[in-house]
Amino acid sequence: MAPEADPANFLDAATWSDPHPYFAHLRATEPVSWNEWWKGWIVTRFDDVDHLLKRSPEISAATVAPALHRATPEQRKLREATFRVLGSWLMLTDPPDHTRLRRLVNKAFTPSTVARLQPGIERTVTDLLDAAAHRGRIDVIRDFSHPLTLSVISEMLGIPRADRPQVGVWAEEIMPLVLEGRSSQGRREQAESVMQEMEMYFRGMAGSRRRSPGEDLVSALARAEHEGGLLSEDEVVATCIMLIFAGQETTTGFIANSVLALSEYPDQRELLRRAPQLMGSAVEELLRFCGTAFAITRLARTDFVLRDRHIAAGDKVMLVLSAANRDPARFADPDRLDITRDTAGHLAFAGGVHYCLGGPLARTEARIGLGMLLARFPDLQVPPQDLEWRPVIVGREPAALAVDLGPDRRLEAAG
């Protein structure tokens, strides 16, 4: 352990409600620091995070196995099912398994595939905004971004409409298993039994798509398993659960974080209102400024030295994407939202072999969702409220975000 260990619990409610000053201090004074509360290394500078993501063979993404080894014999039975699923998630595997799985799933996420989803996304956003318009005040997450992202990923996978609400609840409930954060033992055990339910559900769905395939992604994965022998049935099931999870939480929170950030920078919001063609660059800046993947975790595969710190094989290493994205050595005046800035190279989607597969989809959902929300309700206001930030390292987002929509431009135009 490093001599001057940092004891701070950065997930306590006070620090986590505005974590940037804490991580900025680390970045300036001790860019590779041992955190005694988290029992791992925290890396905050852009160059170091970028290097570890893209060029370092010293770190591994396979972070789940140690939890299985730590389990008591009673926990192990439940946990083995979880491990069977999480052990095949792209973001939790290393090459060569990662390379094979990613090549298969990649086909569903090319920019042209995502472009084909665009009309459906627009229809869903219109329906959600029609429903919201009647209410006046909505929770952006519950009433807008969550149903939007759930609908998009469900369409891709071919999940029947009737099952979608249940699948959305499951994705929420397995969070303690996937994302590091504060969660009670009780919630974790509940999450493990939900994971088993999801496994059964997707095993059944993959079986029926194998017998009568459709145009959806579950059918494509089942075909790759059945005809090509390219992946196992467990991997098909694990990949479906991973996509439901990865496709929802991050984008849901990102849209909410963006609404909040734009309300805190009225000049930027006004600029966007006057120049909606800036939406593409605004989304990139919002990803840099308030992307939901605050940090990701890895394990040291071998002993190595980073900025004179000796990191031992097996140590946990946290790459703080948000601190890297606000590193003044990389982005000038980084704590200011500037939708016209050059954000090239930001790390909101990480980088290297695990670079977010859903990046094009997330960008499209955010561009359409935010664009249509702000165009239709240009006077939208975020009223004063106590935000409860989810105590989760990867998904920093509020649990709820109330907004007053103001007048509906569509009705005004019609009347």
Minimum CB–partner distance for residue 55 and ligand HEM (Å):
14
Fill in the amino acid letter for 302.
Answer: T
Closest to ligand HEM by CB, 306 vs 408, is 306
Question: Environment class of residue 50 by beta-carbon count within 10 Å: exposed (0-12), middle (13-18) or buried (19+)?
Answer: buried
Rounded Cα–Cα distance for residues 169 and 147 (Å): 11
Distance CA 131, CA 161 (A): 18
**Residue 34: enclosing H or E segment and its boundaries?**
strand 32-35
Distance of closest approach, residue 208 Cβ to ligand HEM, in angstroms: 22
Q: Say what angle helices 146-157 and 164-173 make with each other, to 10 degrees.
A: 110
Please list, residue by residue across 183-215, b when 16 or more beta carbons sit within 10 angstroms of its beta carbon and e when fewer do. Answer: beeeebeebbebbeebbebbeebbeebbeeeee
Q: How far is the CB of 27 from ligand HEM (least distance, A)?
A: 18
Q: Could you tell me the smallest distance in angstroms from the CB atom of residue 31 to ligand HEM?
A: 20
Q: In angstroms, what is the minimal distance from the CB of 133 to ligand HEM?
A: 25
- Tell the smallest beta-carbon distance from residue 151 to ligand HEM (Å): 12
Residues 6+ apart with CB under 8 A from 280: 363, 367
Structure tokens at 55: 């060029």
369 or 408: CB nearest ligand HEM: 369
At closest approach, how far in Å is the CB of 342 from ligand HEM? 19
Query: Which CB atom, from 323 or from 357, has the smaller least distance to ligand HEM?
Result: 357
Q: Between 59 and 408, name the residue whose CB sits nearer to ligand HEM.
A: 59
- Choose among 204, 249, 223: nearest CA to 108: 223
At closest approach, how far in Å is the CB of 87 from ligand HEM? 13
Give me the residues that bind ligand HEM (CB under 6 A), please.
61, 90-91, 102, 153, 243, 246-247, 250-251, 254, 291-293, 296, 348-350, 354, 356-358, 361-362
Radius of gyration of the chain (CA): 21
Nearest residue (beta carbon) to ligand HEM: 358
Which CB atom, from 133 or from 230, has the smaller least distance to ligand HEM? 230
For ligand HEM, the closer CB: 116 or 211: 116
- Spatial separation of the C-alpha atoms in residues 136 and 399, rounded to whole Å: 20
- Residue 317 bridge partners (DSSP): 41, 298
Residue 296 or 401: the one with the smaller Cβ distance to ligand HEM is 296
Closer residue to ligand HEM (CB): 210 or 354: 354
The bridge status of strand 304-306 relative to strand 309-311 is antiparallel
